Amino acid sequence: MAVAIFLLIIVVGSVVFTFWSPWWFSEIASNWGGIDTTVLITFWVCGAVFVAIGVFMAYCTWKYRHREGARADYQPENARLEWWLTVITTIGVVAMLAPGLIVWDDYVNPPDEALEFEVLSQQWTWKFRFPGADGVLGTVDVANLSLDNPFGMREDDPAGEDDVLVNSAEVHLPIGQPFKVLLRSRDVLHDFFVPEFRAKMDSVPGMVTYFWFTPTKIGQYQIICAELCGMSHHTMRGWVHVDTEEDFAAWFANQPTWAEMRDGVTRKVYTALAQRGRQVAESSGCLACHTLDGTKVVGPTWQGLWGGEQTLADGSKVMVDEAYVIESVREPNAKVVEGFAPGTMITYGADVVSDDDLEALIAFLREDAAP
């Protein structure tokens, strides 16, 4: 009897929790209401089965409880019961899967008026690329990926010249405009997901995946990575700003094209030693965790780092000079910057970053901070 009541409490409690809990879908900001509908159909089918099985178990534990002298009846086959269970299960499974197929068909068939943009994912950030005035995205090559060419643009493809490159994890989109989103990955499997859009898609190294959506509500929506992609997967975030058409146009006009980026509109000129330091930073993986543009990723940004002061976790301050940089590479946990966890960075010994490399790296930091 106690077990039967316990089972009933679980069933009733689950139902009450479902209707009274404060957690529900965030307000939708795209055209994908159909995805909510399919999720809800699955939810109701599973919920009904959960309640039916729970109540049936409670009934059986009460009805067939132990009684002196009672004997169990052995009945291994019951064609009628199996027939019914097969029919009901089939209806339930079809009800859950068929709507998903209909929505999926829509999800991967963008309307004719959809414009394109590209999402480039990498450990552990996002970048975006729009076709320029010609409406065509230039071709790319992974072999070209570098600090100076963060999208791997091909020099020999004129269609790429006017591509608008957003070298940041924040992108803007105009409201009401359908977009076909093309996804690329620089390194491992990631998944572009904006919960309010109800839309997500894996980005797979070596191929271009896609889906489409129309932003329907002005606002700022967080991008999260929905595929475990390494130590800092949880920090792989970004923002989509859904703007009015005018606000979007103003933002868009401020983004550099590939031709402008390549021609060094924003690029600095470094000495040969600093240039080598920059390559060291890139090839040793420093830039996966330390940005050059002020963005906080896994470790402190390197923007304006050299010659300034860092506040440490214990509240003390330290000058960023040669001794500090060398120590931070060789013994990263000796001084931990405020707001960052100790043990996040591995130790880089001389076998990985040689003393010469370190000297070049310091030259780069020094020149990068110089106005």
Q: Around Cβ 34, how many Cβ atoms within 10 Å?
A: 16
Q: Does 190 bind ligand CUA (CB under 6 A)?
A: yes
| Count, residues near ligand CUA per rule CB under 6 A | 8
Q: Where are the beta strands (DSSP E) in 80-176?
A: 115-122, 125-130, 164-166, 170-174
Residue 181's beta-bridge partner residues?
117, 211
Question: Does 229 sit near ligand CUA (CB under 6 A)?
Answer: yes
- CB of 332: closest distance to ligand CUA in angstroms? 23
Candidates 50-58, 135-143, 222-230, 324-332; binding stretch for ligand CUA (CB under 6 A): 222-230
Site for ligand CUA in 6-35 (CB under 6 A): none
The string of DSSP letters for 37-84 reads HHHHHHHHHHHHHHHHHHHHHHHHHHHT---TT---------HHHHHH
| Minimum CB distance to ligand CUA smaller for 227 or for 357 | 227
The residue among 201 and 236 lying less far from ligand CUA, judged by its C-beta, is 236
Per-residue binding letters, 296-325, with ligand CUA (x by CB under 6 A): ------------------------------
Contact predicate 156/143, CB 8 Å: no
The answer to the question of residue 200 lying near ligand CUA (CB under 6 A) is: no
Sheet containing strand 115-122, edge to edge, reads: 164-166, 125-130, 115-122, 179-185, 209-213
Write down the least CB distance from residue 189 to ligand CUA, Å: 8
Task: Give yes or no for residue 169 binding ligand CUA (CB under 6 A).
Answer: no
CB nearer to ligand CUA: give 236 or 288: 236
In the region spanning residues 238 to 257, those forming contacts with ligand CUA, defined by CB under 6 A, are none
Whether the Cβ atoms of residue 160 and residue 138 lie closer than 8 Å to each other:
yes
Window of 112-120, 226-234, 267-275, 341-349 that interacts with ligand CUA by CB under 6 A: 226-234
Q: Which stretch binds ligand CUA (CB under 6 A): 36-44, 132-140, 227-235, 349-357?
A: 227-235
Would you say 193 or 252 has its CB closer to ligand CUA? 193
For the bound state, the minimum distance from the C-beta of residue 125 to ligand CUA, rounded and expressed in Å, comes to: 9
Q: Can you read off the two tokens belonging to residue 143?
A: 């072999």
Candidates 81-89, 128-136, 225-233, 276-284; binding stretch for ligand CUA (CB under 6 A): 225-233
Q: How far is the CB of 233 from ligand CUA (least distance, A)?
A: 3
Of the pair 227, 368, the CB lying nearest ligand CUA is at 227
**DSSP percent split of the chain into helix, strand, coil, nearest 5:** 40, 20, 40
DSSP 135: S
- The two counts, helices (H) then strands (E), for the chain are 9, 12
CB of 325 to ligand CUA, least distance (A): 29
> Going along 281-346, which residue ranges are E strands?
309-311, 317-319
Q: Which of residues 108-167 bind ligand CUA (CB under 6 A)?
A: 124
Least distance in Å: CB of 128 to ligand CUA? 15
Cis peptide before 124 (omega within 30 of 0): yes
| Closest among 290, 261, 68 to 167, alpha carbons compared | 261
List alpha helices for the chain, DSSP H. Answer: 2-20, 33-63, 79-107, 245-253, 258-262, 272-283, 286-289, 322-330, 355-369
Residue from 154, 233, 237, 330 that binds ligand CUA (CB under 6 A)?
A: 233
Q: Is 227 in the site for ligand CUA (CB under 6 A)?
A: yes
Q: For binding to ligand CUA (CB under 6 A), which residues are involved? A: 124, 190, 225, 227-229, 233, 236
